[in-house]
Amino acid sequence: MPKPNLAEIKNAYDKHYKNITKKIIICAGTGCVSSGSLKIFEAFKKGLEARKINVSLHISEGCREVYLTKSGCQGFCQQGPLLSIGDIFYTKVKESDVEELIEKTVLKSEPVERLLYKNPADGKQYAKSEEIPFYKKQTRFLLRECGKINPGDINEYISRGGYFGAARACAEMTPEEVCKVISDSGLRGRGGGGFPTGKKWDLTRLSKGDKKYVICNGDEGDPGAFMDRSVMEGDPHAVLEGMIIAARAIGADEGYIYVRMEYPLAVERVRFAIKQAEEAGILGCNIFGSGHNFKINVMEGAGAFVCGEETALIASVEGERGMPRPKPPFPAQSGLFGRPTVINNVETLANIGKIMTIGAAEFRKMGTAASPGTKTFALTGHVCNSGLVEVPFGATIRQIVNEIAGGTANDRGEADLNAFKAVQIGGPSGGCLTKEHMDLPLDFDSLKSVGAMVGSGGLVVMNDKTCMVNIAKFFMGFTQNESCGKCVSCREGTKQMLNMLNDVSEGKATIKTLDLLDGLANVVKVSSLCGLGKSAPNPVLSTIKYFKDEYLAHIKDKTCPTNNCKALAKYFIDAVKCKGCTACKRACPAGAIGGEVKQAHKIDAAKCIKCGACAATCKFGAISAGG
């Protein structure tokens, strides 16, 4: 395989790109695709061709006029489908908008104002994405190319400086030197544990073995998390470059990308990126003329959350049931097929090529001393603008929620700074943080000190209408379902914790139940075999710690302060609002409502089964549930 000349590829691409007069980028991340962005792409293609406008779908010799391309996730998911024409950024675009966009923006460079983003806080419109608070307040280091480049064009990746770090690592540096750069950068694993990446690599490098492996963990299973998926969809070559450098550092000649099967678009783009890299001589034999060989395989996981744990993932790749294994030995000594193996998640690996390019010292300028760099978060829940965000370590919840996300959304979907109640960080493995933590720096050590963790980066915001008992129950139900069942403490402990949480939400619990729940949670935390079991009690422990009054209301007063627990709800009819239409009486399956026509009705609490059919039927808003 001939040695790829990256500089030559970059120069040729840049030369051809200069002929383009207008660039149209359409978001083709999973979120926007589900909203119809691919139809918008085709509509643009047909509309431009109908007007005899030269349309280029790839940058190559002979390009001119309009470059129409797809990108990965642009992050502003709640406002999709997204697209930009030159410097003008559009949100919530429909296929029916394409003709107007061509006529006004493509041909005349005039904005279509109704499609510009309007800030709900002050009504201000923004024509450029970099001026929108959602983007302006971020530090997009890892995601700087996601949403900007075509993930299916290796030449565009190279034109942005891609693979130059891998070429330097393979052709100019020793494995020890590569490990030292990553160690000096202070990069810590972005999968949740925060273990120093350079140290992990060096331990694997020093392990004896006739064959070694690199594994990319793309088994992103946290509810509401989509960081790794977005990187694989939008910048797959960055992941491959990180794996190449890792392979050089530890002496591996083979790697695996383990992707959950629920990510078909990520799988497709990663496989295509591998094909392109092989054809370019960047993967395969004697890469970059270094004498180093490296090939990458893609394996689709079956969707088991526990396979996010590295030893369970290894078992799955080997064809066995995905169940954790006792450690030691650690994968660095005995991993895949008993060989030394380094496992990093998608986000960690996507940082590597950039670090090799800018240097360890420059990378350390971002973040904190103990947690350098940036972190991506999947921001969901009760916020005005959900999506994929990236901030330096050390940023606060207040900055993310109020400045980037546009504030907490109340039950009417409006921004309300006073509506914030809690944020669940780190998914099922994390914990709930409250108003008192709004200014806590988000980094590995600060979060650990308050009983939470970065996790993979899920960030679920909850407003004051959220029942924290239900939140604990939701995450416990998830981890109980996902427990592999290997160790008793996790298999039985999560089941019993879920049973006790059900008793609390149904008004069947006592103070003793709460004591048992707290005690069992701590037993499961220390006695489980793997990270899933050890972290499963975190949502329970954190909600008991910070929202004990809600638990006591459910247990002592048999009420749910937020009226979310159906078993504790009491339905009332407002005699002033009630018109005596009998609609609720006819809808009640239990015959619990009495009253004559045109007279105020009443609900017999003893007969009421709390199904809510009466409230759903009433057209006058006379029926409500109270605790």
Sheet-wide strand order for 341-345: 295-301, 254-260, 213-218, 341-345
CB 497 within 8 A of CB 521: yes
Cα 57 from Cα 614, distance rounded (Å): 57
pLDDT of residue 1: 58
pLDDT of residue 457: 82
Q: What angle do CA 131, 132, 135 make, to 5 degrees?
A: 95
**Alpha-carbon distances, residue 76 vs 79, 140, 404, 414, 490 (angstroms):** 6, 13, 10, 18, 37
pLDDT of residue 225: 84
Half-sphere exposure in the Cβ direction for 491 (13 Å, CA) = 7
Using CB atoms within 10 Å of the CB of residue 8, give its burial: 0 to 12 exposed, 13 to 18 middle, 19+ buried.
exposed
Tell me the two tokens of residue 433: 């943080």
Domains of the chain: 15-128 (3.40.30.10), 161-363 (3.40.50.11540), 374-466 (3.10.20.600), 469-555 (1.20.1440.230), 569-626 (3.30.70.20)
CB 90 within 8 A of CB 115: yes
Give average pLDDT by consecutive 10-residue segment, the chain, 627 residues.
86 94 96 96 97 92 91 94 97 97 96 93 90 95 95 97 97 97 97 91 96 96 88 97 98 96 95 97 93 96 87 95 91 96 97 97 96 95 94 96 92 85 87 92 89 83 95 93 90 96 95 96 93 89 95 94 88 93 95 94 90 91 81
pLDDT of residue 122: 78
Prediction pTM value: 0.92
The continuous run of DSSP H or E covering 594 comes out as: strand 593-594
CB 602 within 8 A of CB 573: yes
CB 278 within 8 A of CB 293: no
Cα 169 from Cα 390, distance rounded (Å): 27
CB 9 within 8 A of CB 158: yes
Using CB atoms within 10 Å of the CB of residue 316, give its burial: 0 to 12 exposed, 13 to 18 middle, 19+ buried.
buried
Cα 233 from Cα 236, distance rounded (Å): 6
Which of 239, 235, 202, 195 lies closest to 217, judged by CA? Answer: 239
pLDDT of residue 625: 80
Task: Give start and end residues of each alpha helix (H) in 371-487.
Answer: 397-398, 444-449, 468-482
